[in-house]
Amino acid sequence: MIWVVRAFLISLVYFQLFLWSGIASAGNNIFGIHITNEADLNDAAKLVNSNGGEWGYVTFVIREDERDTARWQSVFDRMRELKLIPLVRLATKTEGANWKKPIPVDADSWVTFLSSLNWVVKNRYVILFNEPNHSGEWGGTINPREYAQVASVFQKRLKETSADYFILPAGFDSSAPNGPKTMSADKFWGLMNSEVPYIFSIFDGWNSHSYPNPAFSSSPSLSGRGSVRSFSWEVSFLSRYGMRLDTPIFITETGWVHNENKDSKGLPAGRQVLGFSSETVGKFFQDAWANAWSDKRIKAVTPFILNYPRDPFTNFSWKNPVSNEYYPQFAAVQNISKVKGEPEQEHKSALIAHSLPNKVVTGSFYESNIKFQNLGQSIWSETEGFSLDFKINEEVQTQENFFIGYTKPRETREVKINFRSPTQSGIIQVSVQMRYKTKKFGELLTHSIEVLEPPKLKIAATSLFGTADGHDIKLLVYKNNDPVKEIKNISLEKGSGEVELRDISPDEQYRFVLIKPYHLPVQTYASVAVPETRITFPVILPLDRNNDGQLTWEDLFSLFQ
């Protein structure tokens, strides 16, 4: 009977893993890189978003003495444009040879700063410091209980502020021994759990430093603790402390040392440079991504480090500090096929202004402007699936000329909409809202428009030498200096005529320009009323002898010929 229960439990675990992997792998590009300088973002994108990829990951550090909102918002905005997802590791500052210990009350200032940023994607990935099982990372001491307290308070404060924070613990050195400056990870974790029971169940994912040890130089085919598959051993071990086996995994540090640009000749044995050629390291990365890191629980892998031009990490750096070119491992990873990530982003818009009319006339054409502001995380563009949802009486108005453009967060966009009014009078309801693919979002504009029968425009005009009669009169209609309508072949008899006005909005003011051949144009202003509007033009002068619509010296000279 016992073996039946065990078999059932094992099957249940594998079923959960399978179910989770099917969800997590959809639309996620696990390729990433670790950087130390935001100037490397462009190259990071060329690496992780190459060969079919989009929305790869980038790990970087923000120190407590570098919490400049303007600076990091600029970094986030650039990552948004490059389609890079930030994994933000919190750090204190150095004090001598060590990193200062964070304390629980520091959480408030970090929450204030992190919440001042408009994040790139909905998940706000935050890593709570670095390798606390090294004394150098914790004020020169090793204190699992303190780290547990700090992590617990930071997690609680961040989650209270926003459920969008995705909290990851510090990555640990799983190869570290017990000694004066390091503590083995399993011992450290046990003491953490003693201080805060089930602390490993509060994190949203697991952060792993799965380095190929010893000496960052082991084969990518090895497994277990201290290998590129350390993550699997770590999660399995931590399941005794409440961590789920299907926990999402982020490998934020990993990689092999190379011996490029290093000369070991003549150095003592202890100072000789270890590592492989960059070509070999590139093959190791290809192998690891194809095999060790194909585990469906893995959300991101960000090797250490893209560009570090000085000791002690030059033999981890992917960039040659002398030639300023990338080592072959860059191209090796760049050439791996990747997927187009589809991270969730918040789409928000606010209505700023619109020019929809309150009244229209039947059977007429109208053009209006709607101005929205982008208050979300996404960049609007037609190619990314953004458009306008425009309806009249709940009927979608299909148009090909909606121009959303390329609208970044905090920017505004004015969109032109065109519509034709019904042929029957009455009331119509117009609704306008932003849309991403099939889902509407943001502030909804609803507007009622009264549809009236077209008014009659009664025209009165006189010429300098009598009436302005004729059958070739033209009328131009303007609104705010924008042309609205042109009516040709109007007949005037005894200085009077009548036309039906369409394409106008009743009760609004227009400029009317009357044009008679070989006469100077005349104009007047009037607010259009229903059912009729009367306008009287100034006296028409027959002085446009060349019929070009204006008075010129040529016209004046011709009077004396």
Give residue-wise pLDDT tens across range 177-208.
Answer: 999 999 999 999 999 999 999 999 999 999 99
pLDDT of residue 464: 81
| CA neighbor of 82 nearest in space, from 112, 114, 120 | 120
Average pLDDT over residues 432-447: 95
7 CB burial (10 A radius; 0-12, 13-18, 19+): exposed
Whether 495 contacts 468, CB under 8 Å: yes
pLDDT of residue 558: 66
Q: What are phi and psi of 332, to 5 degrees?
A: -60, -40
Task: List 510's β-bridge partners, or say none.
Answer: 526
What separation in angstroms does the CA of 239 have from each of 5, 126, 556? Answer: 19, 22, 99
What 8-state DSSP symbol labels residue 517?
A: T
Task: Count the neighbouring beta carbons within 10 Å of the beta carbon of residue 239.
Answer: 14
pLDDT of residue 274: 64
Q: What CATH number is given for 456-558 in this structure?
A: 2.60.40.1120
* Residue 245 CA to its chain's centroid (Å): 31
Whether 364 contacts 396, CB under 8 Å: no
pLDDT of residue 21: 37
**pLDDT surpasses 90 at 34:** yes
Counting every residue, how long is the chain?
561
**Which helix (H) or strand (E) is 329 found in, with range?**
helix 328-334
Joined tokens for residue 112: 């204030």
Express each pLDDT in 46-70 by its tens digit. Answer: 999 999 999 999 999 999 999 999 9
Distance (Å, whole) CA 47 – CA 296: 22
Cross-sheet strand order for the sheet of 439-452: 359-361, 439-452, 426-436, 386-392, 395-396
Task: Produce one character per residue of 189-226: b if its CB has 16 or more CB atoms within 10 Å, e if not.
Answer: beebbeebeebbebbbbbbbbbbbbeebbbebeeeebb
Reported pTM: 0.87
Amino acid at 122: K
Amino acid at 68: D
Distance (Å, whole) CA 191 – CA 128: 18
| CA neighbor of 83 nearest in space, from 378, 347, 373 | 378
- The dihedral formed by the CA atoms of 258, 267, 227 and 321, expressed in degrees to the nearest 10: -30
User: Scanning the structure block, which residue is given the tokens 């019904």?
Assistant: 422
**pLDDT surpasses 90 at 2:** no
**Which helix (H) or strand (E) is 487 found in, with range?**
strand 482-492
Confidence of residue 543 (pLDDT cuts 50, 70, 90): confident
Considering all CA atoms of the chain, what is the largest pairwise distance in Å, rounded to the nearest integer?
A: 122
pLDDT of residue 399: 64
Question: Are domains 349-452 and 456-558 of this chain identical in fold?
Answer: yes
Whether 535 contacts 524, CB under 8 Å: yes
pLDDT of residue 518: 87
Joined tokens for residue 129: 């410091």
Express each pLDDT in 456-467 by its tens digit. Answer: 999 999 988 777
Q: How many helices (H) and strands (E) does the chain have?
A: 10, 27
The CATH topology of domain 349-452 is Immunoglobulin-like (2.60.40)
Distance (Å, whole) CA 515 – CA 519: 7
User: Scanning the structure block, which residue is given the tokens 């992190």?
Assistant: 114
Joined tokens for residue 131: 């390798």
**Which residues have CB under 8 Å from 62's CB, separation 6+?**
72, 88, 89, 90, 91
**Which residues have CB under 8 Å from 30's CB, separation 6+?**
56, 57, 293, 298, 299, 300, 301
Q: Using a pLDDT cut of 70, give the percent of the chain over it.
A: 91
Confidence of residue 1 (pLDDT cuts 50, 70, 90): very low
Annotated domain spans of the chain: 25-334, 349-452, 456-558
pLDDT of residue 4: 38
DSSP reduced 3-state for 213? coil
Average pLDDT over residues 325-350: 97
| Helix axis angle, 230-238 to 185-195, nearest 10° | 30
Q: Average pLDDT over the chain, rounded to whole?
A: 91
**Which residues have CB under 8 Å from 133's CB, separation 6+?**
142, 144, 172, 173, 176, 182, 183, 184, 185, 188
Confidence of residue 552 (pLDDT cuts 50, 70, 90): confident
User: Scanning the structure block, which residue is given the tokens 């700023």?
Assistant: 352
* Residue 50 CA to its chain's centroid (Å): 18
- Geometric angle at alpha carbon 134, from 129 and 137, rounded to 5°: 40
The CATH number of domain 25-334, selected from 2.40.37.10, 3.20.20.80, 1.10.760.10, 3.40.50.720: 3.20.20.80
User: Scanning the structure block, which residue is given the tokens 């991270």?
Assistant: 343
Distance (Å, whole) CA 378 – CA 386: 10
